[in-house]
Chain A
Amino acid sequence: MEAHENKLIAEIETLQNNFTQTTDKLIKDVKRQDKIMTRSDKRQQKEYDELMALKIEIEETQREVVFTMGAIGESRSKETGNHVKRVAEYTYLFAKHYGLPEKECEMLKQASPMHDIGKVAIPDAVLNKPGRFNDEERAIMDTHAQLGYDMLKSSNRSLIKMASIVAYEHHEKWNGTGYPNQTAGEDIHIYGRITALADVFDALGSARVYKQAWDDEKIFKMFKEERGEHFDPKLMDIFFDNLDEFLHIRDTMKDVVQD
């Protein structure tokens, strides 16, 4: 009887021993899993942070490249000072009131300063000629729209693609008498229609070596005449309906007068 009991106890003790070994192993394993998970979470956080920082870096680089290209275009045109910056702000405002999504408005603001980039390929003799262009020189000048488009069109970057449209179509007119393609009405991309108006508004209101700034009455009179001719009537209405906002940009981003 005693022997039988002892045997059972021995079996139970073996079981207990095995159980302890197994649970020890399990506990060790669970601890390892926890450690792996903690490390993995930490790493994931770091990786995602790095990814986001890279994304911002890429976006900023793109912005900088685009802005620099705009400045290069500007240095080749007779516009100066804050012209491209104001055009950028005007295009944003037009895009917003036209109802484009915020992201697209923001992109247009960045892309529109590149509208004259094609001028880098216009010969100095033509570009810097004092006084009026003859027909031949005017024709050469007008190629800057096509030239700008050709420079940018092959890019896969959405911002550069947008800039190519802006460069291509910012001299088209609503009535189809612009260049390079005499496109009319809504066949002209909205980016082109917006930049056309923003560019002209700023150029007219700015004084240059060769011309005085137009006063507002003269600009508004011209705009009313050109509504549905040079310019998209809807954009023209947006301009007059939100005049204060446009004038505010002009006032806060004035060119510094140099003596």
Chain B
Amino acid sequence: MENLKFEATKYTPEINLDATGTISLVGKSYPENTFEFYAPVMEWMEKYFETSPADTTVVNMEIIYFNSSSSKLFFDFFDLLEENSSDNKVEINWIYDEENESAEEAGEDFIEDFEDLNIKLVTK
């Protein structure tokens, strides 16, 4: 499976989807068309788990600013990860600056909502 990479823009994060099992989203996420923007990412993830997932999939998310539709999308994204976490080992690192209260609270929300997922809060 081919890797997929998106460069960061003013409104969207840098995204690296590496088929060897490392997924990373770094930057800001407040586009107008959030679901449209992330559609290829979600497709890639689904295909990845269907075809050739690595032994351990590591997801590093470092989102310093995000709008509410991005939080909704991250919930969907974690849903997808949770659905696949019984057959695959998935590790998620939610990385944030300790002064970034919004990011911290979002991380706590994800942990609360996804009991079956291994989500670690990592402060910078």
Interface residues of A (CB under 8 A from B): 32-33, 35-37, 39-40, 43
Q: Which residues of B contact A36 (CB under 8 A)?
A: 68, 71-72, 75
Q: Which residues of A contact B102 (CB under 8 A)?
A: 39, 43
Tell me whether B109 and A39 are in contact (CB under 8 A): yes
Main secondary structure of the interface of A (DSSP, over half): helix
Closest chain B CB from A193 CB (angstroms): 47
Closest chain A CB from B61 CB (angstroms): 16
Bound CA–CA A161/B42 (angstroms):
53
Closest chain A CB from B29 CB (angstroms): 13
Residue in chain B with minimal CB distance to A43: B102
Bound CA–CA A40/B67 (angstroms):
7
Tell me whether A40 and B113 are in contact (CB under 8 A): no
Residue in chain A with minimal CB distance to B75: A32
Is B105 an interface residue, CB under 8 A from the partner? yes
Interface string of B42-75 (1 = CB under 8 A from A): 0000000000000000000000000110011001
Is B106 an interface residue, CB under 8 A from the partner? yes
Task: Give me 17 A-to-B residue pairs in the complex whose CB atoms sit less than 8 angstroms apart, sorted by A's number.
Answer: A32-B72, A32-B113, A33-B72, A35-B109, A36-B68, A36-B71, A36-B72, A36-B75, A37-B68, A39-B71, A39-B102, A39-B105, A39-B106, A39-B109, A40-B68, A40-B71, A43-B102
Q: Which residues of B contact A40 (CB under 8 A)?
A: 67-68, 71
Closest chain B CB from A169 CB (angstroms): 43
Closest chain B CB from A28 CB (angstroms): 8
Q: Which 9 pairs of residues, A with B, have the shortest CB-CB distance? A: A40-B68, A36-B71, A36-B68, A43-B102, A32-B75, A36-B72, A35-B109, A39-B105, A32-B113
Q: Which residues of A contact B109 (CB under 8 A)?
A: 35, 39
Closest chain A CB from B26 CB (angstroms): 20
